[in-house]
Amino acid sequence: MENNPVITIFESLPSLGPGDDEHTEKAFSIIAEPPEGGGEILDVGCGRGVQTMALARLFPSCRIIATDIHQPFLDVVDEKAAAEGFSGRIKTVCASMDDLPFGEESFDIIWAAGCASIIGIENAVRYWKKLLKPGGYMMISDVFWFTDTPSDEAREFFAEFHPAMMLEDKGFEIIRNAGLELAGSFRLPSRVWEETFYGKMRGKLGELEEEYADDEGALMVIGGLKRQAEIFEKYPDEFGNTYLVMRKPL
Ligand SMILES: C[S@@+](CC[C@H](N)C(=O)[O-])C[C@H]1O[C@@H](n2cnc3c(N)ncnc32)[C@H](O)[C@@H]1O
């Protein structure tokens, strides 16, 4: 994993993805009946635990298992949990999101911010559904097309950089076909992308290009991120991050 250029570069970035506490709370508020007396939350692909900490604060009685494939990110989560006094409620587990060491129907809530498309949204929804208790909720946020007639520039870029990116409507269809109910959804405002992701990484990418001048894989990831930020600036209505909250029927 240490040789994965995506992880190498993301490890050096100030932010792993767009989003803020306001929108984590907004997604959480769609969950009609948060489990009483605790409840088990699985935070998949938790990165440095930005959302893990927000969930722990929002929902003081829950227990959270935060998983990621990259142990150094989980070490950061453990440090943050200790600093905020959450060590008793947050446990980290290093595991791949498509091969998680948990039994079926283990969780009340599954949270997957900015990572489901790594294994494919359909695979993710169908696999994680099995880990949800009946009546449990799952939140995924990911990048989707908002139009089926994007500009040539955006279409050509994503055909190379993220060919699996799908129309938002296709995401809704995947949820229905998996036998889940859509409890609610919303799009992350483009200003939040700028504030929490692109704006923070712009200066850093120049530095990283120098640092990784001899690493072809890393340079490709850096180039892709630079280009993505430019395209988002030009076509903010064509694609973006959608939060989808779904429920497994009882
Ligand atoms: C875009 S980041 C999102 C991080 C976090 N959820 C957040 O919103 O801040 C994607 C995360 O998925 C992790 N990841 C990548 N491939 C993975 C896999 N196969 N299994 C588990 N985690 C993985 C990366 O290490 C990274 O932390």
Residues 92 and 213 in one domain: no
Residue 206 lies in domain: 1-19+192-234
pLDDT (mean) for 195-221: 87
* Same structural domain, 89 and 117: yes
CA distance 209 to 227: 14
Judge if 57 and 181 occupy the same domain: yes
Can you say whether the dihedral through the CA atoms of 244, 43, 132, 22 is positive or negative?
negative
How many domains would you assign to the chain?
2
Residue 34 pLDDT = 74
Nearest CA to ligand 1 atom 12: 45
Query: Does an H or E element contain 176, and which?
Result: helix 168-177
Does residue 153 fall inside a structural domain?
Answer: no
In a domain, 154, yes or no: no
- The pLDDT of residue 3 is 65
74 shares its domain with 3: no
Confidence of residue 110 (pLDDT cuts 50, 70, 90): very high
Same domain, 29 and 132: yes
Residue whose CA lies nearest to ligand 1 atom number 20: 96
Residue 77 domain-assigned (yes or no): yes
| Distance (Å) from CA 45 to ligand 1 centroid | 4
> 57 with 38, same domain?
yes
Cα(9) to centroid(ligand 1), Å: 13
Tell me the C-alpha distance between 135 and 120, whole Å.
Answer: 24
Q: Of 240, 49, 25, give the one whose Cα is nearest residue 141.
A: 240
**Distance of alpha carbon 172 from alpha carbon 169, whole angstroms:** 5
